[in-house]
Amino acid sequence: MFLKVYLDKHKTRNGVLDFKGCKAQFTYRNMDIDKAGFNHSLDFIKAKRTVAACLCEKYLLRKDTSVASMILLINHSFATSWFDKHPEHNQDGRSETNLDSILKYRKEVFDPTGHNPD
């Protein structure tokens, strides 16, 4: 029984994030998901950044409140955001990061190869 649970925890699975045509694939293992159901795999974090970067580009072409909401949701899903490390770039000086700041620094904020915010 222990071996089966161990193997299930380490079995690799595939997932896809997709919102408004911005899509990214990721892999994860059951052990990457915590008791609350949150996925902590690095591949999932990279996929969230990829989707968010795409959504920023879509938003700049056509303002859509659902796209804006998703950009903010993804940014706030990270335990530590890029702006925590670079507060001088938050345009209105609030502790809460606004959409304008995220859009202006979107390449740094959602760089899938860069910093690890979590």
In a domain, residue 32? The reply is yes
pLDDT at 53: 96
* Number of separate domains in the chain: 1
Q: What is the pLDDT of residue 1?
A: 35
34-67 pLDDT, tens digit each = 665 566 678 888 999 999 999 999 999 999 999 9
In a domain, 60, yes or no: yes
Q: Residue 78 pLDDT > 50, yes or no?
A: yes
pLDDT bucket at 81, cuts 50 / 70 / 90: low
117 within a domain of the structure (yes/no): no
Domain assignment of residue 114, yes or no: no
- In-domain check, residue 96: yes
Half-sphere exposure of 1 (CA within 13 A, CB side): 0
Output the pTM of the full model.
0.75
What is the span of the domain harbouring residue 66? 2-109
Q: How far apart are CA 63 and CA 9, in angstroms?
A: 42
* Inside any domain, residue 77: yes
HSE, side-chain direction, 13 A CA sphere, residue 31:
8
Question: Residue 90: inside a domain, yes or no?
Answer: yes
Whole-angstrom Cα distance, residue 110 to residue 82?
8
